[in-house]
């Protein structure tokens, strides 16, 4: 069904924005007609048909980094734009379209834009997207795997456990270590192994204080151009903020644990090394199931240091919180090999002084915008 020739651009535009469902205002119908090669406007008056002067360009990006396609066009006002990804309308009336969180599985996606006015329409050539994974390689060819984490908003805390529950928004995509930092990774950067539980260097490094981690992070930063040549500009290696940690742990869930409420305790053994199954020792990273965003050992094995000073919550909504500017303790998250299931809750908080070392204290790193 073709759109009636002579339908005004204003009518189309109004329907396009308000979802009226009318023939003239149905964006999907506009898209279908354009895709079918139907001229969606009759030449009913004076004016200049749209012409694309710069089509959208193909792009290669790093997984998790937003990218924008743009088009420039000429023609009588008002120009409108209809973007499509792999032939599907993505509904934006703008000369640009942003892909907010590209994944490696998006490689090969095709993007076109149709520009139209009251005279006629024209469709661009296709631009394609290539998405490369973030690659971090330590000395000896040892990978430091990370997962991209999308920006978003969540409810932080848990009634009766970490209160008050409050809204937190993380405004930028970031990367979090897929695993806790291992003994092998620590040795590759620092040269010696401080851990209590040795014999398998794929176990998490432990017996590291918050203060001990600072030179490890500094080493990653100093060598970033070598170990991570495709690191996003402005991103730094650091510990996660407490909010980043909980957001990544929850991975979109609102339950007690990232795998569910698990009131009967029948599922925890698939996701966590804790007092009931650890045999009083740490275990190689990644030997339990990951959460929904592919992160392993977010519950159990070793406590994980966070960047924040220890402090209570407020009920206020926050964006990119970093905690107080000073304090006497630093926060830890995630539970530990000799702790019970309560420590594995997504919202559970723990504290130690920054210089404290123990065989249950480890960490994971993020590559993210600075947060101070």
pLDDT for 33 equals 52
- State mean pLDDT over 135-149: 98
Residue with tokens 């420590």: 343
DSSP one-letter string for 133-147: PP--EEGGGEE--EE
DSSP 297: -
- State mean pLDDT over 199-207: 98
* DSSP run (H or E) holding 212: helix 210-222
DSSP 243: H
Half-sphere exposure of 363 (CA within 13 A, CB side): 28
Residue with tokens 């006002």: 77
pLDDT for 19 equals 35
Token output for 352: 């130690």
In whole angstroms, what is the distance from residue 95 CA to residue 81 CA? 6
Domain at 9-132: CATH architecture: Sandwich (2.60)
Spatial contact of 350 and 285, defined as CB atoms under 8 Å apart: no
Residue 157 has pLDDT above 50, yes or no: yes
DSSP 34: H
Residue 314 has pLDDT above 70, yes or no: yes
- State mean pLDDT over 15-23: 35
Helix/strand/coil for 31 = helix
Sequence ranges of the chain with CATH classification 3.90.1580.10: 137-368
DSSP 286: T
How far are the Cα atoms of 5, 59, 173 from residue 67, in angstroms, in the given order?
Answer: 36, 8, 12
pLDDT in tens, 207-264: 999 999 999 999 999 999 999 999 999 999 999 999 999 999 999 999 999 999 999 9
Residue 189 has pLDDT above 60, yes or no: yes
pLDDT for 24 equals 36
In whole angstroms, what is the distance from residue 275 CA to residue 272 CA? 10
CATH topology classification for 137-368: 3.90.1580
Residue 337 has pLDDT above 70, yes or no: yes
Sequence ranges of the chain with CATH classification 2.60.40.10: 9-132
């Amino acid at each position: 069904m073709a759109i009636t020739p002579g339908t005004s651009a204003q009518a189309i535009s109004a329907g396009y924005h308000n979802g009226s469902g009318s023939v003239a205002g149905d964006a999907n119908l506009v898209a279908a007609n354009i895709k079918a090669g139907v001229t969606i406007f009759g030449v009913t008056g004076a004016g200049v048909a749209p012409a694309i002067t710069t089509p959208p360009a193909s792009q290669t990006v790093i997984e998790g980094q937003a990218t924008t396609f743009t088009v420039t066009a000429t023609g009588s006002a008002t120009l409108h734009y209809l973007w499509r990804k792999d032939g599907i309308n993505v509904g934006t009336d703008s000369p640009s379209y942003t892909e907010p969180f590209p994944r490696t599985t998006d490689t090969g996606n095709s993007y076109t834009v149709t520009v139209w006015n009251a005279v006629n329409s024209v469709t661009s050539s296709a631009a394609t997207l290539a998405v490369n994974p973030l690659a971090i390689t330590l000395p000896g060819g040892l990978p430091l795997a990370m997962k991209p984490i999308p920006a978003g908003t969540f409810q932080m805390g848990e009634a009766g456990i970490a209160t008050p529950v409050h809204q937190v928004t993380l405004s930028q995509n970031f990367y979090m270590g897929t695993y806790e930092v291992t003994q092998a990774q620590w040795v590759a950067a620092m040269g010696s192994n401080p851990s209590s539980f040795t014999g398998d260097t794929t176990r998490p490094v432990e017996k590291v204080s918050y203060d001990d981690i600072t030179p490890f992070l500094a080493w990653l930063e100093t060598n970033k151009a070598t170990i991570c040549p495709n690191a996003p500009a402005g991103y730094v290696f650091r510990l996660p903020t407490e909010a980043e940690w909980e957001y990544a742990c929850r991975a979109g869930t609102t339950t007690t644990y990232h795998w569910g409420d698990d009131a009967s305790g029948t599922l925890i053994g698939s996701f966590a090394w804790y007092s009931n199954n650890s045999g009083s020792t740490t275990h190689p990273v990644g030997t339990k199931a990951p959460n929904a965003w592919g992160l392993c050992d977010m519950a159990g094995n070793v406590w994980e240091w966070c960047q924040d000073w220890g402090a209570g919550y407020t009920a206020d909504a926050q964006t990119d919180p970093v905690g107080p500017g000073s304090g006497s303790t630093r926060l830890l998250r995630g539970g530990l090999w000799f702790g019970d299931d309560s420590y594995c809750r997504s919202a559970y908080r723990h504290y130690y002084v920054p210089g404290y070392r123990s065989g249950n204290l480890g960490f994971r790193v993020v590559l993210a915008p600075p947060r101070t």
